[in-house]
Structure 1
């Protein structure tokens, strides 16, 4: 059953006659008549009574007209949504990230995107590094924000931004009077780390900064829990500058005098996926990087 025949039926009913409908919509009367005949044959009922004064709906025609009109409205809505999704103006983007979106550029990207594309929903997933890779490959997320430890041939990526790392200390720590910290001052400290299910990327970063012989305690917990342990005096930890700006009760944050004390955040996506919304988001982030 062709949607064009349904359209012609609706037009004829709304116009009141075949002749008037043909004149208004620029089609031949014979085209309209054949379309309605075909529709009646397919449905097995007479839809219209035709006479010299125009057309009148039969009982069956009246019953079906309202349903056909509703169906055609639904089809128009489907076409509109399909066009919007196809151009990246509507849809959903599922973001996977090792870190919360507290960084200045992260917040800027999300807020600017929301203003420009209010009809595109953002769903945010925090997960460990290994899960980010798997979630991207399995299509559970569309883009990931990660540190450079994720490597795979099919992942396209680019550097999003750099963020400084700072040291989180208890407020009463002997180093609380220092405006900044050097490595030698904290080599004997106990470092508290987030590390889920043997995801050792965080530990590797600490070893790169402070050496292989530092004391490390692993906690399969979120950053807030680790900072609570720091506040209670169980050790120290590293935090992002953006996390330090939010503050935490009983914890002070001090910059590290080390050029390597920063974290590179990359955006990555599956090079084999073709999706207008994802492509639009990646292009937006790429443009934001160039301008900032």
Structure 2
């Protein structure tokens, strides 16, 4: 098979993944992406990208394995640093500016895994509100379907390698070293509420200013994504913000969310459509 044909089949595969899972590869280098996808071809024993697409259609459980390989699926503090910097400097100030001095700030980390994302949000909000303001106003709801991951998150203890991505100034303020581990600040930790939640089956958390769901939607088919995004729209306050992962776009629910920064995957809840006017006399 020629290199040109391989590229054509590969682009067809990417188009299939985008249509079926909303997985947007714009930010990925094709060479490294092709290497990672090729790992799965070897693992399942198929010869080319066209055959792999057929394999995905016959074995939908393979989507999760593929995405884990492509994403190198490890949750981390401040993963995709530029996106988090944008959230901290551009979005959180807007949220707080629209609030009264004593109004609560409600955030949902959906698919929080072992807690790094939720504690990242806690640090960024505490930096903006101050410790007293954070304790009085901030509530971060951190959910996942994986009970074992939630137990790790509640323990709030991380290895040295896990906190390497945290800037030294934040690490000094929000972590205490305990032998070879780092324990997240218990005072700030109290503002984070962990719980088991199934995005498909369970009712959404409501009255939110910010909803963070990164690298989770792609694990669901388009029909289920539509269902979840409709729930997210319901969960957010008017004008609330949705923060997705690097490879995700709410392609099928463009009427529900308007882009604030496509590059950083930040979207804003669109107003509900006005009901039709009653017929005239």
TM-score (norm 2): 0.31
Q: Which has the higher strand share?
A: 1
Could you say which structure has the larger radius of gyration? 1
Higher RCO (C-alpha 8 Å, min separation 6): 1
